[in-house]
């Protein structure tokens, strides 16, 4: 059983910053990818950023240069530092853990960017 718990969402003004955290627990294999997806109202869920257990990172074009993903392998945690936030970043952000045997999702955390 694997469980993912996100935290750090909330309301922020345009141009502001926010840091999301996700803690994974349970039967986790060392070689895996952790990341963040988001889903805005009326839109499909999309990849925001991902990082492998070896540290290789991948970002969507819409967040490159503004968001930074990092992880703590010892604690099975992944973080998403979000700077220069825009109203179009408003969405529910989901943490994901991908292993060879399958993927697991968190419950999601709402991020709203508005003045």
pLDDT tens by residue, 44-85: 999 999 999 999 999 999 999 999 999 999 999 999 999 999
Query: What confidence tier does 27 reach under pLDDT thresholds 50, 70, 90?
Result: confident
CA distances from 13 to 19, 49, 103, 109 (A): 14, 22, 33, 17
Residue 73's pLDDT is: 93
- % of the chain residues with pLDDT over 90: 93
CB 36 within 8 A of CB 93: yes
């Amino acid at each position: 059983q694997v469980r993912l718990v996100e935290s750090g969402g909330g309301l922020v003004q345009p141009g502001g910053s926010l840091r999301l955290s996700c803690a994974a627990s349970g039967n986790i294999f060392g070689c895996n990818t952790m990341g963040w997806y988001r889903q805005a109202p009326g839109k499909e869920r999309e990849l925001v950023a991902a990082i492998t257990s070896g540290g290789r990172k991948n970002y969507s074009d819409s967040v490159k240069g503004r968001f930074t993903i990092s992880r703590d392998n010892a604690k099975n945690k992944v973080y998403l530092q979000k700077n220069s936030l825009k109203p179009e970043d408003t969405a529910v952000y989901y943490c994901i853990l991908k292993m060879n045997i399958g993927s697991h999702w968190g419950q999601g955390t709402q991020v709203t960017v508005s003045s």
